[in-house]
Chains A and B, each alone.
Chain A
Amino acid sequence: MDSNKKTAPPKQNGKKRLVPTQLVSPPTGPQGPYKLPKNQHFSDHRRFGFSNIMLVLVIVFLFAPLIVVIFYSFNESKGMRWTGVSLKWYVQLFMESEALWKAFTNSFIIAISSSIVATVLGSLASIGIKWYKFKSRTYIQIASFLPMVLPEVIIGISMLIFFTAVKIPLGMFTIFVAHTTFNIPFVFLLVSARLDEFDFSIIEAARDLGATERQTLFKVVIPSIMPAIVSSMLMSVTMSLEDFVITFFVSGPGSTTLPLYVYSMIRYGVSPVINSLSLVLILGIMILALSLKRFLKTIAASS
């Protein structure tokens, strides 16, 4: 397993363990200067090595169910037995699914509003925390971190109990509040990560050149972290559109969101319309991921 077939190590590098000092001092032994075989630099990693095969297998595992669903969205009949190509589920999705699109509109309204509020609050706070030192800093940091790690069920239930206790009727507003709350931490983290790379001497320069606090904020800081702000907002929109568990608890009559609607479709009789909806949603996500190409690494670091 561990025999390095491709590189065939030199004999002096075989089973005998080399003492480090031998290597550090220029080894000019009888065999001449120590040489690594040509393609051994950084080449422990082979193209068809174990880890690459695992990666491809896991990606296949991640995509296979989605591909099955998309494939069957073009099936003529209802079940999983292939009977012929048809676009009728798409016709049904776009023409005859009023309730679904109503739910989609609800989802969209909440996603846009909650992500705007979350982005503004989260970005401002991360600027405040990175830029200044003050007493309640630690508290705010903990409060912004916890919602990300608690199971969604707990957040949902605690919010349901809270809204009931203070007698706020459940509906669009409570969903908006809940989504803003779970979006804030991600914005905060993403913008903070960007601020970590920020060169604060630019701020000092702006100040020295006579910029006021406000000018510095709006003309220097915000423009330079704009990419992070935009990507965190798009991420918030995605997470808001996607959330089921928390929404499930804080929604009321008339405030069905798309995930809630899909849930009821799954629970009370599966309809192939979900298949066609899947393709539409996956295409949307793909476009989003492509437009966020530059930030995928930052997003990976903060999720």
Chain B
Amino acid sequence: MIISDKDKRTRRLGLVYSTPMGLWLSLFFMVPLLIIIIYSFLTKGLYGGVELPVTMTAYKQMFNPNFLRVLLRTLWVASLSTLLTIVLALPCGYAMARSKHQTFWLGMVIIPFWTNSLIRVYAWISILSSEGFVNEALKTLGIIKESLSLIYNQGAVITVLIYMYIPFAILPLFTTIDKFDFALLEAARDLGATKPQAIFKVLLPNIRSGIITSVIFTFIPIFGAYTVPLLVGGKDSYLIGNIIVDQVTKTRNWPLASAFSLIITLLSTLGVLWMMTSTARERARLKQQPVKDRDDLQINGTAIIESSLKNSTGGR
């Protein structure tokens, strides 16, 4: 009796604590998403806005070859920059996790990360533009006479995108690798694995969830990037984010903008679900069914280290 009474009370209180946030997010986040879903099936109004006949026009308009080209380009740019970002971020996360000065390195990643994004884009503009830092420096050194065109192309967009989003990849990778037991690497090496083997067969599979998280946290924002292609890209490097914004601000085709937004929302949600299930699966695997190899490896690794500690007088 007493327990159930207590339960009821706590239940109500939990709801009391969480309701304000729940209501706020429902009203200002979930309802807007619902409105987008509805709008995507309506007709474009004459002066912006939407009108009643329910149609699929917006979805048909999406198959315009122009949009498809931009969509493909966005996929290509987002995939390439995510890949490069992860390849650069992995060793960084590893080095940071192994460093004695973790806080220092975290600060070094976080300070540029928190700096106003427009200031960072502006910094790149002043470096790459035709009278920018690189061109002026090369001219002063007498290496070139005419300015190189370094900006307003796809290369510039990809470079700046990597620059903007690499902290998003480094931070989750660092967090995961920091929890990784480095004795496993040692053990793998002692059992005869080469360094690449130890990294690809022991380290990477164990930090899979961190890799997936950082892929998602770089791919999704890059996929929806708007500012970077607008400011450092040319007409041929517009991405889907720019198309959506143009539909809202210039063409005033709200149903089409809604339809695009909806598709991106669905894709992002799928990505997040994938991330969550793989993290959950990994947790379950580690908790309930310890994989035999890994377990063996751990036991052996620990045994080796213990015995070596016993045997050798001076450790590190």
Task: Note whether A and B form a binding pair.
Answer: yes
Which residues of A approach B to under 8 Å, CB–CB?
Answer: 1-2, 4, 13, 15-18, 20, 23-24, 26, 33-36, 38-45, 49-52, 54-55, 58-59, 61-63, 65-66, 68-69, 72, 79-81, 120-122, 124-125, 127-129, 131-134, 136-137, 139-140, 143-147, 149-155, 157-162, 164-165, 177-178, 180-181, 184, 188, 213, 238, 241-242, 244-245, 249, 258-259, 262-263, 266-267, 270, 274-275, 277-278, 281-282, 285-286, 288-290, 293, 296-297, 299-301, 303
**Do A18 and B166 touch (CB < 8 A)?**
no
- Give the nearest-CB partner of A43 in chain B: B316
Of the candidates B14, B122, B172, B308, which one forms a contact with A270 in the assembled complex, judged by CB atoms under 8 Å apart?
A: B122
CB distance from B12 to the nearest CB of A (A): 8
CB distance from B193 to the nearest CB of A (A): 9
Of the candidates A33, A69, A161, A278, which one forms a contact with B254 in the assembled complex, judged by CB atoms under 8 Å apart?
A: A161
**Do A244 and B22 touch (CB < 8 A)?**
no
**Do B136 and A81 touch (CB < 8 A)?**
yes
Q: Is the C-beta of B41 less than 8 angstroms from some C-beta in chain A?
A: no
On chain B, the residues within 8 Å of A242 by CB distance are 114-117
**Do B15 and A299 touch (CB < 8 A)?**
no
On chain B, the residues within 8 Å of A66 by CB distance are 112, 115, 119-120, 123
In the complex, what distance in Å separates the CA atom of A270 from the CA atom of B30?
39
**Do B17 and A289 touch (CB < 8 A)?**
no
- Give the nearest-CB partner of A258 in chain B: B116
In the complex, what distance in Å separates the CA atom of A59 from the CA atom of B92?
9
A-facing mask of B181-201, CB < 8 A → 1, else 0? 011011001111011101000
On chain B, the residues within 8 Å of A153 by CB distance are 224, 226, 241, 244-245, 261
Q: Using C-beta atoms within 8 Å of the partner chain, give the interface range for chain B.
A: 35 or more
**Do B304 and A157 touch (CB < 8 A)?**
no
Q: Is the C-beta of B28 less than 8 angstroms from some C-beta in chain A?
A: yes
On chain A, the residues within 8 Å of B312 by CB distance are 35-36, 38
For B18, B123, B198, which residue has the most chain A Cβ atoms within 10 angstroms?
B18
Q: Is the C-beta of B238 less than 8 angstroms from some C-beta in chain A?
A: no
Q: Is the C-beta of B149 less than 8 angstroms from some C-beta in chain A?
A: no
Of the candidates A55, A159, A177, which one forms a contact with B96 in the assembled complex, judged by CB atoms under 8 Å apart?
A: A55
In the complex, what distance in Å separates the CA atom of A301 from the CA atom of B175?
6
Of the candidates B30, B244, B245, which one forms a contact with A143 in the assembled complex, judged by CB atoms under 8 Å apart?
A: B30
**Do A263 and B118 touch (CB < 8 A)?**
yes
Of the candidates A68, A288, A297, which one forms a contact with B106 in the assembled complex, judged by CB atoms under 8 Å apart?
A: A297
Of the candidates A1, A16, A147, A266, which one forms a contact with B231 in the assembled complex, judged by CB atoms under 8 Å apart?
A: A266
On chain A, the residues within 8 Å of B133 by CB distance are 68, 72, 80
On chain A, the residues within 8 Å of B118 by CB distance are 244, 259, 262-263, 266
- Contact of A262 with B14 at beta-carbon distance under 8 Å, contacts A2-B195, A238-B114, A241-B116 already known: no
**Do B166 and A300 touch (CB < 8 A)?**
no
**Do B296 and A20 touch (CB < 8 A)?**
yes
**Do B13 and A58 touch (CB < 8 A)?**
no
**Do B112 and A157 touch (CB < 8 A)?**
no
**Do B106 and A162 touch (CB < 8 A)?**
no
On chain B, the residues within 8 Å of A143 by CB distance are 22, 25-26, 29-30
The main secondary structure of chain B at its interface with chain A is helix
In the complex, what distance in Å separates the CA atom of A262 from the CA atom of B268?
30
- Contact of A282 with B14 at beta-carbon distance under 8 Å, contacts A20-B296, A144-B25 already known: no
For A120, A132, A147, which residue has the most chain B Cβ atoms within 10 angstroms?
A132
**Do B102 and A297 touch (CB < 8 A)?**
yes
In the complex, what distance in Å separates the CA atom of A143 from the CA atom of B135?
48
Q: List 6 A-B contacts (CB under 8 A).
A: A54-B88, A54-B95, A55-B95, A62-B166, A131-B14, A299-B110
**Do A42 and B316 touch (CB < 8 A)?**
yes
In the complex, what distance in Å separates the CA atom of A242 from the CA atom of B91?
28
CB distance from B131 to the nearest CB of A (A): 6
CB distance from A235 to the nearest CB of B (A): 9
**Do A125 and B116 touch (CB < 8 A)?**
no
Of the candidates B14, B92, B122, B226, which one forms a contact with A152 in the assembled complex, judged by CB atoms under 8 Å apart?
A: B226
In the complex, what distance in Å separates the CA atom of A57 from the CA atom of B207?
23
- Contact of A154 with B224 at beta-carbon distance under 8 Å, contacts A35-B308, A262-B119, A296-B110 already known: yes
On chain B, the residues within 8 Å of A16 by CB distance are 192
CB distance from A213 to the nearest CB of B (A): 6
On chain A, the residues within 8 Å of B152 by CB distance are none
- Give the nearest-CB partner of B49 in chain A: A164
**Do B116 and A23 touch (CB < 8 A)?**
no
**Do B35 and A158 touch (CB < 8 A)?**
yes
Binds A, one of B58-66, B213-221, B277-285: B213-221
